[in-house]
Amino acid sequence: MKTLVKIWDHLEEYILVPSLMLSTALIFYQVVMRFLFKDAPSWSEEAVRYLYVWQTWLGVSYAARNGTHLRITMIKDRLSPKGQKILELFVTAIWIGFAVFVFIQGMAAVQTIAAFGQKSTALRIPMQICYASIPVGMVLMSIRLIETTIKSLIGKKTVEGGAAE
C-alpha cells in the first residue's frame, strides 16, 4: 500500500523525467545525424514533438499538485485567512470546471481523429494517442486539485502553493 501511495504521489515525475531524458537523447541523435551524415530521420523529430505534447499536458497535473501554476495573488493577499480559503475554493471550482470543459473538447477531438483513422506521418502511430494527452492531463489535474483542496480543508500542512506534504 505504501508503495502505491508513493507511486501516486510522484506519478508525473516518474513519467516526465524519463520522457525528458528520451526527448533529449532523440534530439541529440537527430543533431548528430544531421551534421555527420547530412540526413536526419524524420521519425525522431516527430517522436520528440509528441513526447513534448504529452509532457505539457502531464506537466499541468504536476504543477497543480505542487501549486506552481502562475497566479495573481493581489486580491488573495488582502483577505483574511477565512476569506483566502473561500476564494481558493471558488478559484478551484472554476479551474475544475475549465478542466471538465477541456476534457470534453479533448475527448471530442480524440474521437473525431480516431473515426478518421488518422496516423502520424513518420511514425505511423494513430494520432488519437497524441491527442489523448489532453483528456488524460485534465483528469489528472482535476484529481490533483481535488486532492490538494481536501488536504487543505482538513488542515494538512501544504508545501508552497498547494500540495500536501
pLDDT tens track for 23-42: 999 999 999 999 999 888 98
Q: Is the dihedral of CA 123, 51, 143, 9 positive or negative?
A: positive
**32 three-class SS:** helix
The answer to whether position 162 is within a domain reads no
pLDDT tier at 165, thresholds 50, 70, 90: very low
- Whether residue 102 is contained in a domain is answered as yes
**Do the domain assignments include residue 163?**
no
Whether 34 maps to a domain, the answer reads yes
Please give the single-letter amino acid code of residue 73.
T
- 83 inside domain: yes
Digit-coded pLDDT (tens) for 48-94: 999 999 999 999 999 999 988 887 788 888 999 899 889 999 999 99
pLDDT digits (tens, 9 = 90+) for 76-89: 889 998 998 899 99
Q: What pLDDT, on a 0 to 100 scale, did the predictor assign at position 157?
A: 57
Task: Name the domain count of the chain.
Answer: 1
pLDDT at 156 over 80: no
Closest Cα to residue 57, out of 7, 99, 96, 94? 99
The answer to whether residue 164 sits within a structural domain is no
Quickly list DSSP for 99-154. HHHHHHHHHHHHHHHHHHT-B-TTT--BHHHHHTHHHHHHHHHHHHHHHHHHHHHT
Q: What is the pLDDT of residue 154?
A: 87
Give the structural domain span for 46: 2-153
Q: Is residue 158 part of a domain?
A: no
Question: Residue range 157-163: average pLDDT?
Answer: 50
Whether residue 146 is contained in a domain is answered as: yes
pLDDT at 162 over 60: no
Return the minimum-mean-pLDDT range out of 15-19, 34-38, 110-114, 153-157. 153-157
User: What's the confidence (pLDDT) of residue 100?
Assistant: 97
Mean pLDDT of 90-108: 97
Judge whether 142 and 99 are in contact, CB under 8 Å.
Answer: yes
pLDDT of residue 67: 86
